[in-house]
Structure 1
Amino acid sequence: MSTAILELQPGDEFIELYKVLKIEGWVGAGGEAKMLIADGYVMVNHEVETRKRRKLVAGDNVIFGEESVMITASTRPASEAKIKAAKPADSESPKRKAAKPKGRPSIKF
């Protein structure tokens, strides 16, 4: 069994179980993840878990088939992550044209 590590984003206290399956690429969509969880195919901390939106925190271990992922807390401070996420307005983003106001369609009889 291979074990991967999923690091929570700075400022996030938890992640929902079905999202872990999507992030890890074990399923194609959230609906598929929710169905597999409800049918008992997913384990959390070596116990079958059927709550789709179970809040996973650092230290939880998710097992699906032969795959496993350990949830860990971010090592970066939240303030550092916000600074990196901010984009300069002038230099990197392309200039957008002003949106045209939408008028009423003309109806001809």
Structure 2
Amino acid sequence: MVTEFALEGDFIELHQLLKLCGVVDSGGAGKALVSRGAVRVDGAVELRRTCKIRAGQVVETGGVRIAVMAERRPHHP
């Protein structure tokens, strides 16, 4: 399953991203998942629960792939 996440701001912490995308039920569960080495960021295992995820990065865990995109802002002429 591939999910796109529109990032608001410069970054989101990894455990919060997992929560907001519905991979886990809480931030605490997200931290536990990361601590177990079950999450990859850009293909590498990430063990830092509060790792800052930025636009352009890809997070993967348990068959879920989250593509983090820059927030789409309306174009003002």
Report which of the two has the higher share of strand: 2
Corresponding residue number in structure 1 for 2:4: 5
Summarize deviations over 1:7-63 as a string: whole Å, max 9, x none: 012xx1001100111011111111111011011001100110000000011110000
Question: Structure 2 matches for 1:53-92, cutoff 5 A?
Answer: 53-76=50-73
Greater relative contact order structure (CA < 8 Å, 6+ sep): 2
- TM-score of the superposed pair, with normalisation by structure 2: 0.90
**Percentage of pairs with the same residue:** 36
Residue aligning to 1:40: 37
CA RMSD between the two structures = 1.3
* TM-score, normalisation: structure 1: 0.65
- Give the number of equivalent residue pairs: 75
C-alpha distance in structure 1 between counterparts of 2:29 and 2:54, whole Å: 22
Distance in 1, Cα, partners of 2:18 & 2:3: 12
| AA partner of residue 39 (structure 2) | V
Alpha-carbon distance between aligned partners in 1 of 2:22 and 2:71, rounded to the nearest angstrom? 21
Runs of 4+ with deviation above 2 angstroms? none
SS of the aligned residue for 1:63 comes to: strand
Cα offset, 1:74, TM superposition: 1.1
Q: What is the distance in 2 between the residues matched to 1:75 and 1:41?
A: 30
